[in-house]
Structure formats: C-alpha cells, structure tokens
C-alpha cells in the first residue's frame, strides 16, 4: 500500500510541476504580447494553459474528477479507468484496473469519482 501511496504522491507532484511550468509559460506569453488589462490577461493565460496542458474545456478547469466504469469479469465487478487522469492513476499504481484501496486513496486526495455507464464506453 505504501508503494501505491508513494507512486500517487509522485504523480501529483509531477502534475503540480507541469501546472506551474504551464502557468509561467502562459504568463510570459501574455507579457510578450503586451496584454495588461486584468480580465483579458487572465482569460488568455487560462486558455493558453489549457492548450499547454492538453485541457480543452473550460468546464474542466480546476476540477478534480476522474471517470471510471465497471465491467463484470466472471464473478467480480472490476473498476476500469476511463479518463486520462484515471488511467494515469492506474499506471502509477501498476494496475490495469483500479482496486478498492486505490479508489479510496484517490478519494482521500480530494478527487470525485464519476461512474460512466458501460454503454457509453467505446471499445478502445
């Protein structure tokens, strides 16, 4: 369990560093373009960070949600990651599916876990 915790802490630290680097880069670009008024500047920085980080929806800004889906495998219902963040958590925990303990730890980090109906899951 401590290895999973250490991996998740490392993942969140890397994610935080990427966020900080994107903010610095976007702020520098706003400075280079001479955008000084508060609202246009903040809008530009936010949109530029979205592009840098690969987040294209303003609705997702600052949310800590992951999407998962459940699929029956023989007797057990297994929890599969659906969104990129959930897949990163599974990868960091060296799991293909998310275990109950991993889900509890992710919740303890402040994430909301959304269950996507199996019918909406495309076959990747």
Residue 98's Cβ-count burial label (10 Å; 0-12, 13-18, 19+) is buried
Residues paired with 65 in a beta bridge: 112
What pLDDT is stored for residue 57 in this prediction? 44
Q: How confident is the model at residue 58 (pLDDT cuts 50, 70, 90)?
A: very low
Rounded to two decimals, what is the model's pTM? 0.49
pLDDT exceeds 80 at position 112: yes
What pLDDT is stored for residue 62 in this prediction? 57
Distance in angstroms (rounded) separating the CA atoms of residues 2 and 47: 37
Q: How confident is the model at residue 55 (pLDDT cuts 50, 70, 90)?
A: low
Q: Where are the domains of the chain?
A: 2-60, 65-120
């Amino acid at each position: 369990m401590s290895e999973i915790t250490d991996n998740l802490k490392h993942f969140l630290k890397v994610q935080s560093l990427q966020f900080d680097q994107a903010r610095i880069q976007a702020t520098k670009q706003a400075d280079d373009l001479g955008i000084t008024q508060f609202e246009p500047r903040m809008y530009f920085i936010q949109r530029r960070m979205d592009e840098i980080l690969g987040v294209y929806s303003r609705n997702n800004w600052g949310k800590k949600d992951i999407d998962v889906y459940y699929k029956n495998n023989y007797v057990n219902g297994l929890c599969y990651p659906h969104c990129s963040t959930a897949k990163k958590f599974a990868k960091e925990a060296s799991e293909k599916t998310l275990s109950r303990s991993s889900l509890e730890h992710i919740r303890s980090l402040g994430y909301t876990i959304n269950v996507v109906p199996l019918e909406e899951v495309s076959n990747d």
